[in-house]
Amino acid sequence: MSYYDIDAILTDNQKVPCTFNLTLPQLGYLDSTPGRPLPSGTKVDLPLWLAERLAVSQLTPSTSLITLDLPASLSPRVMNALKADPKSVDLRSLAANFYGLAERILELFEEEEVCDVLLESWRVRAAEVGDHAVSSGKGGGGVGGGEGVEFLRGLDEKERELFRSAHDSSKAMRVWMGEMKKR
């Protein structure tokens, strides 16, 4: 991930649920009670870049400022859906940078099972993406059609990037073969 990678920046900007471990004065506006202190134990959605820093910083050796929770897009419900059929889940509606978020979260949490499920669903979905990338655009106007459109709409940013690169290389190949005809 490079410093100027817009996808990395957008990934960092995704909200994750956090619980404050301290009562903080003047921060009540985070919980729509402006002007009041924020009581300890309040749940607030914070962007990942901020939450990560706050969760890692330690006030005393045993407590940190906030506690991170698993975001909704990586909840057990989603994991079960991915386990049942990776292709039918609309990842984009869960998080635009689903895999990017998952990578960052896996760095913070030790979630062996989530990691397994994600690896497997990335593999299965990637193979499907590759098939669509090559078959779309081949039949002229009719792109995919039917169930393909539904699946492609649910791709997250990383899968879209994969689709694009697979599609570009197969297109370059077709262009080259077309040029051979003209000569």
Partner 1 sequence: MALPLQAGLTPMEVAFLCEMEMVTVVPRQRLESLNLLSGPTPTLRPPHRAPLPLWLALLLKRQRRANILPPPWLLPSSLERILRHETETSPLAFSPPPPHPHPITSRISPTDHISPPFLPSSTADAPPDYLPYHWLELGEILLEAASDDVPEPDRVRGLLRDLREVRMSKMRGSVKGLEGEGGGVSKMTGVGAMEVSEGRGFILGVLDGLRKLGSSREVARREREEEEGGGEGSEDEEMEFE
Query: Quick check: 99 binds partner 1 (CB under 8 A)?
Result: yes
Query: Quick check: 173 binds partner 1 (CB under 8 A)?
Result: yes
Euclidean distance between CA atoms 130 and 64, whole angstroms: 44
Alpha helices in the chain (DSSP H): 6-12, 48-56, 76-84, 91-94, 98-108, 112-135, 147-153, 157-182
Instruction: Tell me the Cα Rg of the chain.
Output: 21
Euclidean distance between CA atoms 101 and 114, whole angstroms: 13
51 C-beta neighbours (distance < 10 Å), count: 25
Handedness of CA 117, 6, 43, 53 (dihedral sign): positive
Structure tokens at 52: 């990560």
Which listed residue (39, 130, 144, 148) binds partner 1 by CB under 8 A? 130
Query: Quick check: 127 binds partner 1 (CB under 8 A)?
Result: yes
Residues 136 to 165 in contact with partner 1, rule: CB under 8 A = 158, 161-162, 165
Q: Min. distance of Cβ 126 from partner 1 in angstroms?
A: 5
Which listed residue (89, 122, 151, 152) binds partner 1 by CB under 8 A? 122
Q: Min. distance of Cβ 34 from partner 1 in angstroms?
A: 38
User: Which window, 14-22, 23-31, 50-58, 99-107, contacts partner 1 (CB under 8 A)?
Assistant: 99-107
Contact 75, 109 (CB under 8 A): no
Q: Which is nearer to partner 1, 61 or 178 (CB)?
A: 178
Residues near partner 1 (CB under 8 A): 2, 99, 102-103, 106-107, 110, 112, 115, 118-119, 122-124, 126-127, 130-131, 133-134, 158, 161-162, 165-166, 168-170, 172-173, 175-177, 179-181, 183
